[in-house]
Structure formats: C-alpha cells, structure tokens
Amino acid sequence: MFHKRGAYSHLLKTLTTNRQYNKIINMKGKRLFDYLYDQLEKFPLDKAFGQKENGTWRYYSSAEIVDRVNRASQGLLDIGLRPGDKVATVVYKTSPDWVVMDFAMLQVGILNVPMYPTISYREYEYILNESEAKYCIVGEGDLYDKVQQARKNVPGLKEIFTFYTHPEARRWDVLLSDADQSEVERIKGRIHPDDVMTLVYTSGTTGNPKGVMLTHNNIIFNIESLRKLLPFRPGDRVLSFLPVSHVFERVAVYAFTAFGGSVTFTGTDNLGGETGDFQAIRPHYFTAVPRLLEKVYDKILAKGLELKGLKRALFFWALQLTDNWTFDYKPRGWAALKWAIADKLIFSKWRNAMGGAVKTVITGASACPMRIMRTFNAAGIVLREGYGMTEVAPALSFSRLEPGMALLGDPGHQRRALDRYRRCGHFCGRPRRSQIPEDHRPEKRIAQNQRRQICGAGSP
C-alpha cells in the first residue's frame, strides 16, 4: 500500500480484504474508475456526459472523458497531491467537468470530499479542517465566497479552484496536464478495491457533520447488485439533476457509467414544459427524491383543475382509478376497458410530459408517499423505491421490477429487516462490506462503514 500523510494515513495501510465478498462480487479486483475504461472498451459513446452550455447541449464522448481524466490526474500530482490526500468539491449543479475531476482523483488515490452547496461557511470551515482537505473546487453561485470566507480559519487549505471563470481564482482546467502519465499509470495499478475513495459528510442535523469513509468495494457492491435489477441497455439516456454531494446521486452516476448510460446533467428549474429538459433529452432513467415527485404530482393536479367540462371530468375519473392500483394489478373485462381508456386519454399525456421514453424512475433519500407510488405506477411511469443510508453506500434494499417483488410501503423485499422493524421500529441489515479496523481509526467524528450490523431509523 501507499505511504500516506495526515490523520487518515494509516487507513489505506490497514484495510482488510473481505475475500468472500471479492470472490462473489468483485472477482477481477475492479475499482470505480475501471467502469470508465470498460465503457470506452465495450460500448464507447459519442454522448457519454453532457450539459447545456450557453443555451446549447454540449456532450463529451467516452474517449474525450478518459483523456481529460488522465490529464487531470497528472495535473493533481503536479501540484503536489499524493494518494491519501483530500480535495473538497462543492457544486449546485453537477457537470461533466465535475465527473472528470472525480474520476481523476479516484484513479490516483486522492479522496474527493463533496460538500453540500446549501450549508453555511462555518460548516465548510468544519469539514475542510476535519477532512484535512488541501484544495477545494467550487461551482457557480455564492460558493466561492462562502468557501473563501471559511478559508480564513482553514490553514491547511492551499487554494480554491473553480469550475467556471472567476476573477480571483484559477479554473479547474489549468490542471489538465500534457506531461508524461507514467506516474498516473503506476499509481492507478496499485489502487486496491478496499482502498478508501471518499469522505462523505452527512448533513449534521444532530450536531457537526460526520464523515463516512467509503471504499471502492462499498459502492461497487451496490452497482453490481443494481445491475441485476434494471433492464438497462448501453446507450440508454439518463437525466441527472440531484446533487452529487448526496451519496444517492453520486452512486447513481457511477452506476449509469458502468451500465453505459448517456448521462445529461441539468438542474431542477427547467424540467417540465414543452421546452423543458424532459422533452429535450427524453430520458429512459432518472433518479428523484420524493419531494420532487410530489411537486410533479401537484403540477399534474393543478393542470387538471384548470380543465373544464368533459375534459376535467375525465381527468379526475382517471385519477380516481389509481386509488385502486397495486403492484401486479391486472384489470380484466370492463375494468380493463376503463383502464385502457384512461391510459389513452390521460395517462399517456403524463408519460409524454416526461419525454415519453421513461423506463424506470428510482427514488430514495426519504419515504415515498403511497399516493405518489400508486399514481405514477398506475400511469405507466415505473417508479421504484430504495432504502438505505450513507454508511451502506447507499442502498440496503430496493423494490424490484419483477412480478411479485414489490409492495406498496415496502422499499424492497427484506423480510428479516421488516420483522425487526415491527419489533423495534428500525430496519436492520448486514450488508457485505469491506472492513475498516476499528482499533486503528483516528479519534475524530468519523462514522465508519464496517461489515457488521447497520441499523437506521425505519421509514414507514
């Protein structure tokens, strides 16, 4: 292993390998950045990652992303960073540039410390000091000013880079180096699946934010499990608009990269409407939090209230039909005819409003209301829910697509977890995870991800 400096230097030297896990899930010793090279080799995309720039959609191919990742890795080494060092990032909206820097850090053992864009400068100050971040890369908005204010009390922070042009900071792309990359290749070859690859700080609602140490294997376990559940095809279009500071969306981006998805990044301010991003991209997949889905539901309901006469009556008649929907429901006879009419006249318009190509929507981060699950699924917008937490990177259970493998109010078929929930009000599980030895951890507020029982508050 590498020699590391700082409070976490010993972690990458003392991680133990869960051999049984590697045999079942990760036989080839895969690291997260390997998924990017798999994509280039097996299903290279012309539109691997993209976003809107100056009113026009701009995409980067798999080959372009890999080239920029390698150049950025060299640039990070050129400014003195070494495996085990930390670089913080904070953005309101994810971009292909953020993806490049994330993969660039992954393959040379530098830990990306993503921070929430909505927290205060004092919380940035705490996280930057706690994680011992040496650099920070910020997105647009007020983020540079907040991090700059925090920097006054963060002696270890050497410089703030930006993902955009700022008069007082260097852009991230000055790190794209054309120097020889032999050192990058040497380090890349020594990265182990059980190496810590990130520190993810929780929201800190019960005190100071707490850092969760995750390894490549932690996240790969989730990705390979999800691969078996989704009917994903290389080239499927993905719309990503949730913050990557939350592990849910960050792991989703890794998964869609592994599956060969064409990922388009956007915000939540222009999703709907005839000129919105749903219509422009026509996604096959996207992730969402329940609160956003509730806003979509409220907009659908508001449009129904604007209708008059027969159209209004048909709208609410169709909406009322969804009250009786359950998973695996198959109407027959007269009921089947009513559902067919509702689908033709009402539900098809809802699907078209989301681009008309959606295969699956994945929701998580909080409990999804049953009326949302009923309405979306009844309308042919396949919605599935996951349950988990940052410490399990991030999913503990997931409601599946196969018949008989999803229930309303149940974020995944986990009978033992549900039995325990009925007894003590908590979901409990024992996921296969790499172990970080407890007796070698730094004396800080770090939440460790170990292969032991992990409990989280139950979600109704």
Is there a contact between 100 and 69 (Cβ–Cβ < 8 Å)? Answer: yes
Q: Is residue 110 part of a domain?
A: yes
Q: Is residue 130 part of a domain?
A: yes
90 pLDDT exceeds 60?
yes
Amino acid of residue 10 = H
| Residue 193 shares a structural domain with residue 171 | yes
**Minimum mean pLDDT range among 254-258, 305-309, 405-409:** 405-409
Q: Is residue 425 part of a domain?
A: no
**Minimum mean pLDDT range among 72-81, 153-162, 193-202, 441-450:** 441-450
Query: Considering the chain, what percentage of its residues have pLDDT values greater than 70?
Result: 82
Q: Is residue 284 part of a domain?
A: no
- Per-residue model confidence as pLDDT tens digits over 365-417: 888 999 999 999 999 999 999 888 888 888 877 888 888 777 777 676 554 44
Cα separations in angstroms, 278 against 210, 259, 266, 270: 35, 21, 10, 9
**Minimum mean pLDDT range among 274-283, 355-364, 443-452:** 443-452
Between CA 102 and CA 139 the distance in angstroms is 14
Note the helical H segments in 152-195.
Answer: 182-190
Determine the pLDDT at residue 408: 79
Tell me the pLDDT band of 274, cut-offs 50, 70 and 90: confident
Query: CA neighbours within 13 Å on the CB side: how many for 174?
Result: 12
Amino acid of residue 268 = T
What range defines the domain where residue 154 resides? 11-276+430-456
Q: Taking the CA atoms of 277, 363, 43 and 179 in sequence, report the sign of the dihedral they define.
A: positive
- Which position has the token pair 């830990």? 111
| Residue 219 shares a structural domain with residue 191 | yes
Q: Is residue 437 part of a domain?
A: yes
Q: Is residue 392 part of a domain?
A: yes
| Residue 451 shares a structural domain with residue 387 | no
| Residue 242 shares a structural domain with residue 126 | yes
The residue among 249, 256, 250, 244 whose CA lies nearest residue 285 is 256
| Residue 441 shares a structural domain with residue 403 | no
Determine the pLDDT at residue 412: 64
Judged by DSSP in three states, 39 sits in helix
- Per-residue model confidence as pLDDT tens digits over 1-28: 333 333 333 333 333 333 444 444 444 6
Tell me the pLDDT band of 45, cut-offs 50, 70 and 90: very high
Tell me the pLDDT band of 138, cut-offs 50, 70 and 90: very high
| Residue 327 shares a structural domain with residue 441 | no
Determine the pLDDT at residue 389: 83
Q: Is residue 39 part of a domain?
A: yes
For range 238-260, the mean pLDDT? 96
For range 99-105, the mean pLDDT? 98
Judged by DSSP in three states, 389 sits in coil
Between CA 45 and CA 188 the distance in angstroms is 23
Q: What is the mean pLDDT of the chain?
A: 85
Between CA 418 and CA 336 the distance in angstroms is 33
Determine the pLDDT at residue 14: 31
| Residue 324 shares a structural domain with residue 230 | no
Judged by DSSP in three states, 52 sits in strand
Tell me the pLDDT band of 425, cut-offs 50, 70 and 90: low
| Residue 184 shares a structural domain with residue 46 | yes
Q: Which two tokens stand for residue 12?
A: 């990458």
| Residue 49 shares a structural domain with residue 164 | yes
Determine the pLDDT at residue 208: 82
292 pLDDT exceeds 70?
yes
- Per-residue model confidence as pLDDT tens digits over 151-172: 999 999 999 999 999 999 999 9
The number of folded domains in the chain is 2
Between CA 29 and CA 22 the distance in angstroms is 7
| Residue 391 shares a structural domain with residue 253 | no
Determine the pLDDT at residue 414: 52
| Residue 223 shares a structural domain with residue 258 | yes
Query: Considering the chain, what percentage of its residues have pLDDT values greater than 90?
Result: 70
Determine the pLDDT at residue 28: 62
Determine the pLDDT at residue 399: 83
40 pLDDT exceeds 90?
yes
| Between 93 and 455, the higher pLDDT residue | 93
455 pLDDT exceeds 70?
no
Q: Is residue 306 part of a domain?
A: yes
Q: What is the CATH number of the domain that holds 228?
A: 3.40.50.12780
| Residue 213 shares a structural domain with residue 332 | no
